[in-house]
Structure 1
Amino acid sequence: MNQMNSPLIRIGVFYDGNYFLKISDYYYFQHERKARISLEGLHEFIRHQVAEDEDTDVRLCQITDAHFFRGRLSATEARDKDRLFHDRLLDDILMNLGITTHYMALKTRDGRLQEKGIDVWLSLEALELALHKSFDVIVLIAGDSDYLPLVKKLNTVGTRVMLLSWDFKYTDFKGENRVTRPSQQLLDHSTYPVLMHEVIDERLAKNDPLIEDMFVNTPEPAPYSPAAKPVRPTGPTAAGPVGTVGISTIKNLKNGFGFVVMPPNNLFFSYADMAEGDFNDLREGDWVEFTVGRNHRDEDCARNVRKVEAPQFDEEEENSSEEEEHESASSRY
C-alpha cells in the first residue's frame, strides 16, 4: 500500500477497565519492571502497532475515540474501603487524556461484590460507535470470551479488530494462584491479535523506547498528607486508639500488601495506605511510621505508612532493660 496516499486510519479504543487495572497491578507488583502502565504511552504504542499491521505511516493512524468501562463502588463503599482517592486519581488521568468513562454500580451477590453487565454495555457501545463513527480499527483491551459476539459482529461490518491481551500467572499475598489468560476464540477471530506480555518482555530486553514509554516513571501520589512525627521514638510503640501515631517494623510484604509488627495482631496495610514514597521500595524489616486506623471490617490497620530511620536506643534504656531481664531471670530460681 502506498503510504503517502493512504487515507486516515480511524482508531477506536475500548477498555475493559477492571481487566486493564489488573494488568497494571501485575506490572507494578509482580513484574520486574515494577511500574504501572501509562495510558498515554499505551496509546502511542497502539498507533505504531496499527501502522505496522495496516502497512501505513503512523501519522495516518489516529485514535479518534477512547472509552473506559468499569464496575465501580458507591461513594460510601469506596470511602469505607479507602478507594475514593485512587478512584478520583484514575478519573483525573482518564479525563486528561480525553478517554470517556462508563461506570456501572457493582452489585453484592452472596456477600461478594460482582461486576455484571459491563461486557454487554461495552459491546453495544463499540458496535454502535463503529457504525456511526466509521472506525477502521477497533482496539479491544480485554480477554474474556464474552466479547466474542462483538468481535464477530465487527468482522461482518468490515471493522478490523486489534486485541491487546496478556497471559500470566502469579501467587497473591494470600498464597492463592492467580491466572490471567485470553480466550483462544477471541484471539482466533481478531484481525490483529497482540500478545502483549510477549511484546513487552521481548522489547524491554532491547530497551525499546516505545515500550519504555508504556510505563509510568514517576511515583504514585500519596492519598494522605505525611503524618506527624512521633516524639523521640526509641522502639516499637503499641497500637492505641484510632489516630495514634506508631512506629514499628514491617513483618512481611507481598503483592501490594504487608503487615506492620504490632502484637498481638499485626497491622495490615496496602500500597493505598502509603503517606509518601513508593510501596515497592519497602523491604521486610524496614522501620515505618504509621497511624492506627480501622478498615471496612472494623479491624485495626495501619494508615499513613512511611519509611523512617531505625530508632536509636539510649544507653540508659538498654542498661535498664538488661537489669529488668536479669531480675526477671533471678526471680525464677
Structure 2
Amino acid sequence: MNTMNSPLIRIGVFYDGNYFLKISDYYYFQHERKARISLEGLHEFICHQVAEDEDADVRLCQITEPHFFRGRLSATEAREKDRLFHDRLLDDILMNMSIQTHYMPLKTRDGRLQEKGVDVWLALEALELSMTKHLDVVVLIAGDSDYVPLIKKLNTVGTRVMLLSWDFKYTDFKGENRVTRPSQLLLETVNYAVAMNEVIDNPVSKYEPLVDELFVNTPEPSAYPNVATPRPAYVPTAAGPEGSIGISTIKNLKNGYGFVVMPPNNLFFSYADMSEGQDFNELHEGDWVEFTVGRNHRNEDCARNVRKVDAPAETEEEDEEYDNEHEPESAETSQL
C-alpha cells in the first residue's frame, strides 16, 4: 500500500526495447494471435495489475514516467537494411504514447551488431527518477539478470518493482529451436512477478477484456503504399523492369517473409512490402498476388506493394489448348 501522503501511486515503466520488440515479433509471426503488442493496451493492463498488487483504486494508479531504451542502427545502415520506415513508425507510436525514447548506437564487432550500455543507462534512469520523482512502483519489461542490482537498490529507496516477462519457445524457419525465458534470479528478486505468457494464454475472466486489448487489431502500415494499376490477367513470366506490375503465386512463406514465383528467379518480399491495408499473416502458399517489381539494397529484383488477388481467369485460347492436349483418343489411335 502507498505510504506517501498523496494517495496517487506513481508508476514508472521502463522498456528494454529489443526485448520488447522480440516479444512483439513472436506474437505477430509465431503465436496464434498473429498481432503485435499494443503499448496502449499494455499500459492499461499495468495500471490494473499494480492496483491489484498494491490494493489500491485503479484510478489512483498512474503511469507518470514511461521510458523506452534501445540500441539503434545508424541512418545509413537502417537504409541499407530497409529499416528506416519501421524505425520511424516505432518512433511515431512511442511519441503518441508520450513514451520518452533513449537510443544508443549499435556497434559492429566481429561482423555482428552488438548492443552495449543500454541496460546500464536504463538502470541509472530508473534509479534517478525513482528518487527525484518519488516513484512508488517501477515496472520492468525485461528478462536479463543484469537488472538485479537495480531492483535491490530501488527497494532501499522504498520503490517496489514489478517485472513483466515472457517464457516461450518456438522453431524458426531454419528449423532451430528458439527460447525466451526470464532470469530465475530476476524473478526471485522483484516484488511482483507477472508471467505475461500465462496471462495471455490462460486469462482469468476478470482480465479477459484487458488481455484482448493487449494486441493491435489493425494491419501494419506498409513502407510501400499501394499504387492503383490495372491488373493484367496472365500467368507468371520473367520479371520486367523496375516499376512494372506482375501477378503470380506465392511459392513459400517463412517468419515474416516469402517468395513469389517469377522465373528465372523467385522474388523475395517481406511483411514490410505489403500494400496498404494488406496483412502478411493472411497470406498462404499458393495464393495469387499482384506486385510491383522493385530493387533491394543489394540491387536485386524483389516484390513490392504485394497484395492478394483472385486467380486470373483462363482465356478461351488457353481452354482450347488444354482441351486439345487432353482430347480422348479415338478407337484407332488407342489400338496403336
* Aligned residue in 2 for 1:310: 311
> Contact (CA 8 Å) 1:138, 1:159: kept in 2 or not?
yes
**Structure 2 match to 1:257:** 257
Is the 1:6–1:60 contact (alpha carbons within 8 Å) kept by the matching residues of 2?
no
1:223-262 equivalences under 5 Å are: 223-229=223-229, 232-262=232-262
What percent of counterpart residues are identical?
A: 78
- Distance in 2 between residues matched to 1:50 and 1:309, nearest whole Å: 49
Deviations 1:201-250 (A, max 9, x none): 11188881111111111122222221343552211132133323221101
Match of residue 331 from structure 1: none
Q: Say if 1:204 and 1:246 are closer, same or farther in 2 by CA, change over 3 A.
A: farther
**Aligned 8 A contact 2:232 2:247 in 1:** no
Quote the Cα distance in structure 2 between the aligned partners of 1:123 and 1:30: 31
Change (3 A) 1:315 1:160: same
Match of 2:17 in 1: 17
Partner of 1:184: 184
What is the identity, as a one-letter code, of the residue corresponding to 1:49? Answer: Q
2:112 aligned with 1:97: no
Kindly state the Cα deviation for residue 324 of structure 1 after the two structures are TM-superposed.
9.3
Quick one: distance in 1 between partners of 2:217 and 2:83?
23
- 2:258 touches 2:270 (CA, 8 Å); kept in 1? yes
Deviation at 1:173, TM superposition (A): 2.3
In structure 2, do the counterparts of structure 1 residues 325 and 70 end up closer, same or farther at CA, with 3 Å as the change threshold? farther
Equivalence for 1:291: 292
Q: Any stretches of 5+ residues in structure 2 without a counterpart?
A: 328-336
Q: Deviations along 1:135-154, whole A, 9 cap, x unmatched? A: 11000000012222212221
Kindly provide the CA deviation profile for residues 281-333 of structure 1, in whole angstroms up to 9, marking residues without a partner as x. 1111111111222333343322211111111121213445787999xxxxxxx
CA distance in 2, matches of 1:14, 1:2: 20
The residue aligned with 1:222 is: 222
Contact 1:15–1:67 (Cα < 8 Å) also in 2: yes
Over the aligned positions, Cα root-mean-square deviation in angstroms equals 2.3
The amino acid that maps onto 1:102 is H
Counterpart-to-counterpart distance in 2, 1:174 and 1:56: 48
In structure 2, how many angstroms separate the alpha carbons of the residues matched to 1:291 and 1:15?
Answer: 37
Indicate if the aligned counterparts of 1:234 and 1:314 stay in contact, CA closer than 8 A. Answer: no
Residue 107 of structure 1 deviates from its aligned partner by 1.5
TM-score under structure 2 length normalisation: 0.90
Q: Deviations over 1:47-74 (max 9, x none)?
A: 0100111111111111011000111122
Match of 2:118 in 1: 118
User: Partner amino acid for 2:304?
Assistant: R
CA displacement 1:173-211 (0-9 Å, x = unmatched): 232222111011111101101110001111188881111
SS at match of 1:146: helix
Give the match's secondary structure for 2:203.
helix
Aligned-partner Cα distance in 1 for 2:217–2:13 = 23
For residues 50 and 287 of structure 2, what CA distance do their matches in structure 1 show? 46
Instruction: Provide structure 1 residue ranges, at least 5 long, that are not aligned to the other structure.
Output: 327-333
Is the Cα contact below 8 Å between 2:273 and 2:306 reproduced in 1? yes
1:85 corresponds in structure 2 to 85
Say whether residues 1:301 and 2:302 are aligned partners: yes
User: SS where residue 179 of structure 1 aligns?
Assistant: strand
Structure 1 residues 129 and 271: alpha-carbon distance in aligned structure 2, compared to 1, 3 A threshold: same
Q: How many residues align?
A: 325
For 1:279, the aligned partner's letter is F
8 Å CA contact 1:235–1:313 kept in 2: the answer is no
Residue 43 of structure 1 corresponds to which residue in structure 2?
A: 43
Q: Check whether the contact 1:238–1:246 (CA below 8 A) recurs between aligned residues.
A: no
Q: Distance in 1 between matches of 2:102 and 2:124?
A: 12
Q: Which amino acid aligns with 2:133?
A: K
* SS of corresponding position for 1:203: coil
Deviations 1:117-162 (A, max 9, x none): 1111111111111111111100000001222221222122221110
Matched with 1:165 is 165
